[in-house]
Chains A and B, each alone.
Chain A
């Protein structure tokens, strides 16, 4: 590829870097309304931790109710608002709020902001050799819109009637008709408003990422020299830009149905299935919006600790492009049994099977990456390696649902709950943990504690599997999702011990997260100083100090190599940074 890349890493950045040393910006501009992509990335990170705690607490509530339906919640039961519980016993409507808000918080306020907002903002300019994002102010606005959306969504717990109860999928007309929704009209309306604002934040962020990656790469940083994480975030941004506006429109329509008497999604004068088509037209790309960045981040980490180039770089890129494209034509697989045309279901089944192919390609390439490596099992590597295995389980269980007749049996069962958590927790969140352990030294200049990290990994890995694997069995045993009390059904009473088991495993997983948070905070002051490049990595962010100064690079780096030149024969050290010319005698492979 040619290297005709326009650079916008201007001298003014060197100036501002200079400036910082002379008169420091005040607290407000440094920490609150910062336009520095690194600070915004960290703001996203910290904020998503807060929502992770909220979402996790809601998950604990769900698991408590499923294990002990009708039993008073210990300790905090009496404090719960009357919309959720009476006398400390969770109401069915309160349970519905729990799972609705758990999913909404985790999807829109944790996984997306953490992976895309946090790592996207922090890493993109550093990895492409730019001083900042293309639109720093838009970037700050994007973060604050996210905060506002989070406040609106969480505040809905405290309004009259409580939060939305219709599931994060908000199927109409349950969600769109006040009379059907257990007095949660205000909560559901706030849900719409929150998602609309959240959508604005995503769209602004995506615009910024795309512009930055296309225009601001350092000289020599061709598209096929981009680290895979940047590729992943680039494609994710496109998916956001094309999918999120559809959700925003749908949320606006739902809002007017609820409040102004329109009937977009009503049975008479509208069409309930229209909501599902709109929602899933966003919702399925959304699945890839949440997994692609994690795939990219893991693809960065595996080569570093296997000391090997990523296997099949271009295949990885094209597989992600294929996933991005196919992601838009598979939404109907959520609707096989929704009342949609049966032949259409068969067609969606085909595209859904096809989209499994690029996922398989990626898995094989990850395995090819560790093959004949020299593998070091650091905490980030453990999470990255586990990501691959968990993604395999989540991918394979998806094949069951892609098969239309099997979906007749397992649709809306706990099998689906197991599947989504293998992809979203075992996939996206494991990827996020790997990334946090890996880039923490760059972000804060200190290493996280490895022993605590490993305890956190093993505890999470074990409890994760003990929590979510038995859910496959529950689903095949005929347990519906979203029921407040499984014991009302004859065939589920026999399965209740599994529900209790799963709940305790989930509590264990919840506790394990505190090991992580403790490690994160403790290491800020007490971690080992990291230096520029503690992992001996090749990409550009490791060529600057940890944490990098304002403007990132003192002078614009020039890129000579691909991002994964590890263990190049004929070299003394086992890695070749992207901005270093290959020394005499290095035998680089052209690929």
Chain B
């Protein structure tokens, strides 16, 4: 039939286009590891990668197997002169098998996943570096504890121009906290971050850390911690649409050695102390006194 010839020609044309375009377009982009993913630099991220890997091979095998069988059927059972279809309404035994097997696989997968999920969100170690990260339209502010090693308490109702970290004024721990516009963290040490937002929902997303967590206004997200394995420069990205400047809402991340971190921290603490001495202590923001301070950590 003419139609079949057209079909065949089109089919092979398509195969040719695929073969010609696809590898060429991709080859120039990246010396690929399996996922094209940027290098992973956190301990938990490597476990995520292992799980991702596992699912990739699992689904890849299922895909190849089903498609191979499917295409084999399509070719083998194509209409030919004299061919007649086999009359069958199905097979209950097969139905049971292909219900039970995927169920078992999915249950196994969900157990694997959720164990890792709770491991990643386990209690952060006591010696973690603490950072309060605040997203706003369209940027990030970080706050580190001062010499006392404690972050001042936050009441999310208090965000204002004068109080950009919403610190509770009568908590002395907050007085020496210093701020930064870049996230500087020591390599190989657990880092415990508190996520806040001043206006709309933002999200903390660092692909190299394999980590995403939304920052919700009015809430403190206190369960995110991670440990880096490598020094380097990265970018913190907002990955939750947050307005017209969303695409450019980023902040630099520097993962540095412990010595460098200590030096940087000491410099910041000294600068904060100098600043506190030179400026007379300002009066509390007016609204604060009546506010119902919620028990939020930090």
- Give me the interface of A with B, judged by CB distance under 8 Å: 91-93, 95-96, 165-167, 171, 173-174, 177, 180-182, 266-268, 271-273, 306-313, 315, 337-339, 342, 345-346, 349-350, 353-354, 356-357, 360-361, 363-365, 367-368, 370-377, 385, 388-389, 392-393, 396-397, 399-400, 402-409, 411-413, 450-451, 454-455, 458, 461-462, 465-466, 470, 473, 476-478, 480-486, 488-491, 494-495, 497-498, 501, 564, 566-569, 574, 587, 589, 591
Give Cα distance in the complex from A377 to B48, angstroms: 43
Which of A177, A312, A591 counts the most B-chain CB atoms under 10 A from its CB? A312
Cβ of B51 within 8 Å of any chain A Cβ, yes or no, is: yes
Q: Are B66 and A357 in contact (CB under 8 A)?
A: no
Cβ of B283 within 8 Å of any chain A Cβ, yes or no, is: no
Give Cα distance in the complex from A367 to B62, angstroms: 14
* Known pairs A307-B79, A497-B29 / 4 extra A-B pairs, C-beta < 8 Å: A312-B94, A389-B70, A458-B13, A488-B248
A315 nearest in chain B by CB position: B95
Q: Given that A271-B218, A370-B74, A405-B47 are known contacts, is A361 also in contact with B250, CB under 8 Å in the complex?
A: no
Give Cα distance in the complex from A461 to B10, angstroms: 11
Cβ of B263 within 8 Å of any chain A Cβ, yes or no, is: no
Cβ of B199 within 8 Å of any chain A Cβ, yes or no, is: yes
The residues of A that contact B212 with a CB separation of less than 8 Å are 337, 407-409, 411-412
Q: Are B218 and A494 in contact (CB under 8 A)?
A: no
**Among listed B126-134, B237-245, B264-272, B274-282, interface-contacting one:** B237-245
Give Cα distance in the complex from A315 to B74, angstroms: 22
Which of B10, B203, B239, B241 counts the most A-chain CB atoms under 10 A from its CB? B241
**4 closest Cβ pairs, A-B complex:** A478-B207, A267-B218, A267-B217, A312-B90
Give Cα distance in the complex from A449 to B244, angstroms: 46
Q: Are A412 and B86 in contact (CB under 8 A)?
A: no
Give Cα distance in the complex from A485 to B107, angstroms: 40
Chain B min CB distance to A167 (Å): 5
Chain B min CB distance to A250 (Å): 16
Q: Are B110 and A483 in contact (CB under 8 A)?
A: no
Give Cα distance in the complex from A357 to B103, angstroms: 6
Q: Are A400 and B84 in contact (CB under 8 A)?
A: no
A276 nearest in chain B by CB position: B201
A365 nearest in chain B by CB position: B90
Give Cα distance in the complex from A402 to B105, angstroms: 13
Chain A min CB distance to B164 (Å): 16
How many B residues, CB 8 Å from partner? Answer: 106
Give Cα distance in the complex from A388 to B66, angstroms: 11
Query: From residue 69 to 117 of chain B, which have CB atoms closer than 8 A to chain A?
Result: 69-70, 73-74, 77-80, 83-91, 94-95, 98-99, 102-103, 106-107, 109-110, 112-114, 116-117
A413 nearest in chain B by CB position: B239
Q: Are A272 and B85 in contact (CB under 8 A)?
A: no
The number of residue pairs between A and B whose CB atoms lie closer than 8 Å in the complex comes to 334
Q: Given that A400-B55, A567-B87 are known contacts, is A405 also in contact with B239, CB under 8 Å in the complex?
A: no
Give Cα distance in the complex from A245 to B106, angstroms: 32
Q: Are A373 and B77 in contact (CB under 8 A)?
A: yes
The residues of A that contact B67 with a CB separation of less than 8 Å are 389, 392
Query: From residue 55 to 70 of chain B, which have CB atoms closer than 8 A to chain A?
Result: 55-56, 58-59, 62-63, 66-67, 69-70
A338 nearest in chain B by CB position: B214
Q: Are A591 and B90 in contact (CB under 8 A)?
A: yes
Q: Given that A182-B244, A363-B66, A567-B87 are known contacts, is A405 also in contact with B116, CB under 8 Å in the complex?
A: yes
Chain A min CB distance to B238 (Å): 8
A269 nearest in chain B by CB position: B218
B13 nearest in chain A by CB position: A458
Q: Are A356 and B102 in contact (CB under 8 A)?
A: yes
Q: Given that A360-B98, A374-B79 are known contacts, is A346 also in contact with B62, CB under 8 Å in the complex?
A: no
The residues of B that contact A497 with a CB separation of less than 8 Å are 25, 28-29
B62 nearest in chain A by CB position: A396
**Among listed B33-41, B143-151, B183-191, interface-contacting one:** B33-41
The residues of A that contact B175 with a CB separation of less than 8 Å are none
Q: Are B38 and A491 in contact (CB under 8 A)?
A: yes
The residues of B that contact A574 with a CB separation of less than 8 Å are 84-85
Q: Given that A400-B55, A406-B48, A498-B26 are known contacts, is A92 also in contact with B201, CB under 8 Å in the complex?
A: no
Taking a contact as CB atoms closer than 8 A, the residue among A166, A271, A404, A407 that contacts B241 in the complex is: A166
A165 nearest in chain B by CB position: B244
Q: Are B77 and A357 in contact (CB under 8 A)?
A: no
A489 nearest in chain B by CB position: B235
Chain A min CB distance to B90 (Å): 4
Give Cα distance in the complex from A454 to B66, angstroms: 24
Q: Are A92 and B246 in contact (CB under 8 A)?
A: yes
Give 17 CB contacts A-B under 8 Å.
A338-B216, A360-B98, A370-B74, A372-B86, A400-B55, A405-B117, A406-B51, A411-B239, A454-B6, A462-B14, A465-B18, A480-B237, A481-B239, A482-B247, A488-B247, A490-B235, A495-B30
Q: Are B3 and A450 in contact (CB under 8 A)?
A: yes
Query: From residue 204 to 244 of chain B, which have CB atoms closer than 8 A to chain A?
Result: 205, 207-208, 210-219, 221, 223, 235, 237-244
Give Cα distance in the complex from A346 to B117, angstroms: 8
Q: Are B77 and A361 in contact (CB under 8 A)?
A: no
Q: Given that A338-B214, A589-B89 are known contacts, is A567 also in contact with B241, CB under 8 Å in the complex?
A: no
Q: Are B88 and A372 in contact (CB under 8 A)?
A: yes
Q: Given that A405-B51, A458-B14 are known contacts, is A361 also in contact with B98, CB under 8 Å in the complex?
A: yes
Give Cα distance in the complex from A589 to B92, angstroms: 14
Q: Given that A365-B90, A368-B94 are known contacts, is A404 also in contact with B117, CB under 8 Å in the complex?
A: yes
The residues of B that contact A174 with a CB separation of less than 8 Å are 200-201, 241-243
Q: Given that A173-B217, A400-B52 are known contacts, is A451 also in contact with B3, CB under 8 Å in the complex?
A: yes
Q: Are A409 and B52 in contact (CB under 8 A)?
A: yes
The residues of B that contact A501 with a CB separation of less than 8 Å are 21, 25
The residues of B that contact A177 with a CB separation of less than 8 Å are 199-200
Give Cα distance in the complex from A395 to B136, angstroms: 36
A359 nearest in chain B by CB position: B102
Cβ of B43 within 8 Å of any chain A Cβ, yes or no, is: no
B75 nearest in chain A by CB position: A375
Q: Are A180 and B26 in contact (CB under 8 A)?
A: no
Chain B min CB distance to A479 (Å): 8
Give Cα distance in the complex from A19 to B173, angstroms: 87
Cβ of B273 within 8 Å of any chain A Cβ, yes or no, is: no
Give Cα distance in the complex from A311 to B200, angstroms: 50
Give Cα distance in the complex from A339 to B197, angstroms: 12
The residues of A that contact B161 with a CB separation of less than 8 Å are none
Q: Given that A174-B200, A181-B243, A466-B22 are known contacts, is A392 also in contact with B211, CB under 8 Å in the complex?
A: no
Chain B min CB distance to A109 (Å): 21
The residues of A that contact B21 with a CB separation of less than 8 Å are 466, 501
Taking a contact as CB atoms closer than 8 A, the residue among A404, A484, A486 that contacts B114 in the complex is: A404
Q: Are B200 and A482 in contact (CB under 8 A)?
A: no
Give Cα distance in the complex from A476 to B29, angstroms: 14
Chain A min CB distance to B175 (Å): 25
Query: From residue 154 to 213 of chain B, which have CB atoms closer than 8 A to chain A?
Result: 156-157, 197, 199-201, 203, 205, 207-208, 210-213
Q: Are A311 and B88 in contact (CB under 8 A)?
A: yes
B119 nearest in chain A by CB position: A405
Taking a contact as CB atoms closer than 8 A, the residue among A166, A364, A367 that contacts B73 in the complex is: A367
The residues of A that contact B37 with a CB separation of less than 8 Å are 409, 476-478
A354 nearest in chain B by CB position: B106
A502 nearest in chain B by CB position: B25
Taking a contact as CB atoms closer than 8 A, the residue among B30, B56, B87 that contacts A494 in the complex is: B30
Give Cα distance in the complex from A361 to B101, angstroms: 10
Give Cα distance in the complex from A93 to B89, angstroms: 55
Cβ of B290 within 8 Å of any chain A Cβ, yes or no, is: no
Which of B22, B79, B223 counts the most A-chain CB atoms under 10 A from its CB? B79
The residues of B that contact A311 with a CB separation of less than 8 Å are 88-91
Which of A177, A480, A497 counts the most B-chain CB atoms under 10 A from its CB? A480
Give Cα distance in the complex from A173 to B137, angstroms: 12
Taking a contact as CB atoms closer than 8 A, the residue among A182, A315, A346, A363 that contacts B90 in the complex is: A315
The residues of A that contact B205 with a CB separation of less than 8 Å are 411-412, 480
Give Cα distance in the complex from A333 to B284, angstroms: 43
